[in-house]
Amino acid sequence: MFKLVAGRKVKSCAWMAALLLVVSAAATVPSLRPVKAQGVLSQDQQQTQLAQRGVNSCLTCHNNPSITSVLATPHGGNAASGTPAANQACQNCHGASADHASSMQAPAVVFDGGGRFPASDVEVQNQVCLNCHQSRSTVHWAASEHQAADLACATCHTIHTSQTAMRNELQDEGICLTCHLEQRSQLNRRSHHPVTEGLMSCNDCHNPHGSDAVAMLSRSTVNATCTSCHAEKRGPFLWEHQPVGEDCTTCHNPHGSTQDRMLAVRQPFLCQSCHSEVYHPSFLYSGDDINPNAAGQSVVGSSCTNCHSVIHGSNHPSGARLTR
Ligand code: HEC
Ligand code: HEC
Ligand code: HEC
Ligand code: HEC
Ligand code: HEC
Ligand code: HEC
Ligand code: HEC
Ligand code: HEC
Ligand code: HEC
Ligand code: HEC
């Protein structure tokens, strides 16, 4: 778990762990000698170029289902010419590791560092992946907050796995929430997007590899992101409500809120943060202002939106005041 939370700390822990292991492993080295491959590969897999190009030299020792699982993922197939399998197989990612295979030096690139050898620098690890993945959704990686925070691709992706999406076992929001505790608490509030319920994921709004928008949003602006689902709020409206076209997060907190409808502030205070001068908006309608028989329309229920019910804009000829 700490592996996820603090890449740098982990590195030093890994170093210590590795040193300890090297010391304590001295006695056990004999048991690490090459063993004969156990024939874990299926007929199909054996026929891949992966097998032909030397994967077997690694599998003499690493013939273990948790490692060979990689052969069943998109990386293991050689249908697409760009896969590791169609190139130098294991060494595409772990580097030329001849010294490792012959004299137990560290492989050129170590990702997890949970074992005998310390993890390679994050830049070195990520460069391996970026050699092949610099298009589509990863194109903004170099300018992303996650790159700046030194996250490894392997933090969120698991390569030796049986699931083809190759994502960490916590999957999507689970992994995100191990680090983003503020969002975790907001998603626990009464009104929230159904992320923890599994109906949406962080990726519906964010691109974890970075983007050209604020907060690594998957669309170019906040509003474009929101209206990709809430299309009816996009307009155009005959009568617009100015802040709506500007930024939905002026009034809503997308991760969750203790107010209804994920409102950032309770009504009428939300409205009064902008409307304070003219006519009735500046009245709180509290105490004596509340007519016990009429039950104070501006504070009960939907408050201001009791009357200004089309708060996102109106197409009614007389909807200038957003009342219809
Ligand atoms: C002679 C046996 C042997 C061969 C051949 C071999 N390895 Fe290893 N490898 C080991 C041992 C032993 C370890 C340490 C295992 C541990 O940490 O528990 C290891 C560790 C590793 C690790 C690091 C694991 C970690 O997180 O610390 C990687 C990566 C690796 N090997 C890749 C390869 C690759 C790629 C090849 C083929 C080029 C290869 N190995 C060939 C025996 C071998
Ligand atoms: C696409 C890149 C890639 C390829 C191809 C690849 N690995 Fe790995 N390997 C990784 C990453 C990333 C990790 C870190 C753990 C994970 O994501 O599963 C890893 C971890 C390991 C480990 C340490 C795992 C542990 O639990 O200690 C070993 C050993 C290893 N790989 C050996 C191999 C061998 C042998 C092959 C060829 C059959 C291979 N790898 C092919 C990327 C790759
Ligand atoms: C030798 C080139 C190569 C390397 C190195 C490589 N990949 Fe891939 N990767 C591919 C190809 C080719 C595919 C399958 C085709 C595709 O979907 O793009 C793929 C597929 C994937 C997928 C699944 C894509 C999907 O559509 O579901 C993920 C995730 C992924 N790689 C992550 C990584 C990570 C993380 C690393 C580094 C540890 C890495 N790759 C290293 C070539 C590579
Ligand atoms: C913060 C977590 C995280 C990190 C770090 C991360 N990814 Fe991803 N990656 C994801 C998630 C989540 C998805 C699935 C996105 C989706 O389904 O929309 C994904 C999807 C992918 C895909 C397949 C789909 C696509 O859109 O191309 C590839 C390839 C990929 N990542 C490569 C990488 C590489 C390379 C790195 C490092 C430079 C990396 N990732 C770093 C979380 C991450
Ligand atoms: C419904 C869309 C949506 C979903 C789902 C969503 N976010 Fe966001 N997120 C946003 C928007 C919009 C912003 C920009 C907020 C702003 O401008 O104040 C943001 C901002 C952030 C920020 C930066 C906050 C800051 O104060 O700078 C982080 C971190 C974040 N989101 C993480 C997550 C994580 C983790 C998840 C999943 C658990 C998630 N988000 C799900 C829309 C979303
Ligand atoms: C290993 C920890 C870690 C994981 C896992 C992680 N993040 Fe982050 N994330 C960070 C750090 C550190 C930053 C930069 C500092 C900050 O803004 O909190 C960041 C920044 C962000 C930002 C941009 C904030 C801004 O101010 O622009 C968003 C959005 C975000 N992460 C979303 C995600 C999503 C979505 C996932 C899951 C797919 C995820 N993160 C997984 C650590 C992590
Ligand atoms: C991927 C689709 C998607 C995106 C993008 C999206 N939403 Fe939502 N939104 C939903 C779903 C699903 C619900 C839940 C509907 C339900 O519970 O009936 C919802 C509900 C809401 C609600 C009503 C909550 C309630 O209590 O009834 C508000 C307000 C809202 N979203 C605002 C936003 C804002 C602001 C953005 C942009 C930051 C945004 N949404 C982006 C899918 C999305
Ligand atoms: C001026 C403040 C404000 C802005 C800006 C705003 N909203 Fe709202 N929104 C509200 C209020 C107030 C409600 C509650 C209405 C009610 O309770 O009748 C609401 C309710 C909602 C709802 C749930 C009820 C419904 O009408 O479907 C969604 C979804 C929603 N807003 C999406 C958005 C989106 C998307 C944007 C940006 C395009 C946005 N809002 C911008 C004030 C705002
Ligand atoms: C971020 C500031 C902001 C917030 C918050 C806000 N408004 Fe507005 N509102 C405006 C602006 C700016 C206009 C356009 C004023 C103009 O054209 O003179 C406007 C126009 C209106 C109008 C049309 C009146 C007119 O003069 O054209 C009504 C009605 C209204 N808002 C009600 C509300 C209600 C109800 C809320 C709370 C749910 C609210 N507003 C929240 C900024 C805001
Ligand atoms: C009982 C219904 C009702 C309630 C509750 C209500 N309004 Fe109004 N509001 C109206 C009507 C009707 C108008 C249009 C008056 C006109 O056109 O002369 C109006 C006009 C406005 C205007 C335009 C003022 C102007 O000078 O042109 C704003 C801004 C406004 N309301 C904001 C609010 C805010 C903020 C609240 C909550 C504190 C609120 N309203 C509560 C009915 C209501």
Domain boundary among 132, 165, 198: 132
Mean predicted confidence (pLDDT) in 86-110: 86
Least confident of 5-14, 41-50, 312-321: 5-14
If you average pLDDT over every residue of the chain, what do you get?
79
Q: For residues 75 and 163, which has the higher predicted lDDT (pLDDT)? A: 75
- Please report, as a single letter, which amino acid is at residue 194: P
Task: Write the residue with the smallest CA distance to atom 37 of ligand 3.
Answer: 129
Checking if the pLDDT of 147 tops 80, the result is yes
What pLDDT was estimated at residue 54? 59
Inside any domain, residue 245: yes
- Please report, as a single letter, which amino acid is at residue 236: P
Inside any domain, residue 24: yes
Peptide bond just before 74 cis, omega within 30 deg? no
- Mutation probe of ligand 10 site: the residue of 270, 321, 322, 323 with most atoms within 8 A of C-beta: 321
Q: Are 10 and 3 in contact (CB under 8 A)?
A: yes
Inside any domain, residue 294: yes
Least confident of 10-14, 56-60, 121-125, 313-317: 10-14
- Please report, as a single letter, which amino acid is at residue 215: A
Inside any domain, residue 164: no
Could you list the residue range(s) of the whole structural domain that residue 298 is in?
236-306
Checking if the pLDDT of 224 tops 60, the result is yes
Number of domains in the chain: 2
Calculate what percentage of the chain has a pLDDT beyond 90: 48
6 lines ligand 6 (CB under 6 A): no
Calculate what percentage of the chain has a pLDDT beyond 70: 73
How far is the C-alpha of 165 from the C-alpha of 86, rounded, in Å? 19
Inside any domain, residue 314: no
Q: For residues 20 and 173, which has the higher predicted lDDT (pLDDT)? A: 173
With CA atoms as reference, report the closest residue to 144 among 201, 218, 93: 218
How far is the C-alpha of 289 from the C-alpha of 298, rounded, in Å? 10
Mean predicted confidence (pLDDT) in 216-236: 96
Atom of ligand 5 nearest to the CA of 247: 17
How far is the C-alpha of 308 from the C-alpha of 311, rounded, in Å? 6
What pLDDT was estimated at residue 289? 56
| Encoded tokens for 315 | 């197409």
Inside any domain, residue 277: yes
Are residues 240 and 127 part of one domain? Answer: no
Domain boundary among 132, 166, 195: 132
pLDDT band at 52 (very low <50, low <70, confident <90, very high): low
Task: Write the residue with the smallest CA distance to atom 5 of ligand 1.
Answer: 101
Q: Are 248 and 259 in contact (CB under 8 A)?
A: no
- The SS3 assignment for 252 reads strand
Inside any domain, residue 284: yes
pLDDT band at 23 (very low <50, low <70, confident <90, very high): very low
What pLDDT was estimated at residue 191? 96
What pLDDT was estimated at residue 154? 92
With CA atoms as reference, report the closest residue to 213 among 249, 188, 189: 249
What pLDDT was estimated at residue 114? 77
What pLDDT was estimated at residue 77? 75
pLDDT band at 79 (very low <50, low <70, confident <90, very high): low
pLDDT band at 24 (very low <50, low <70, confident <90, very high): very low
Going from the Cα of 210 to the center of ligand 8, the distance in angstroms, rounded, reads 27
Inside any domain, residue 272: yes
DSSP per residue, 144-210: SHHHHTT--HHHHB-SSSSSTT-B-TTHHHHHHHHH-HHHHHHHTSSB--TTTTTSS-GGGTB-TT-
Q: For residues 197 and 87, which has the higher predicted lDDT (pLDDT)? A: 197
